[in-house]
Structure 1
């Protein structure tokens, strides 16, 4: 019973408009912007919590944190590209909508 509800909420309300908007951009731009924004959030979150000097040393100088820092941002960037690809794939074209209305 709730499967159809959640499918409508996540797929119908957010998937098609987000996919249509993201389909305007190239996939490498989406990947780059998603990765940079995640890295900025990580850096500023660490800087707010520990201070700027500690954030630089934790993220950029400590190799164990650097691997996690790059890996997580790459994973979220790939997820954003997958959302853009699937959303653009299932978004109907304007010509298809005109034919359905007639």
Structure 2
């Protein structure tokens, strides 16, 4: 794959990931890596994220998301390949 190619992945994170600064920490990591997208809480306790960027940046962020911030206890990630939407920033959705 071309290093400049933008990929997108939709990620659902299971575990103790709400109320532990998971979304804010994900936003911070994404912006540091140059990944665009968003992250939000789901009603069932999971967190959902949309990630867009280079293959390497998205993979690096997903590796971080498997651990999350110190207070989180991630039990799994469900990842789907999706079509990029040309997003420019990384937001935390309510």
TM-score by length of 1: 0.29
Larger Rg: 1
Q: Which has the higher strand share?
A: 2
TM-score by length of 2: 0.30
Q: Which has the higher helix share?
A: 1
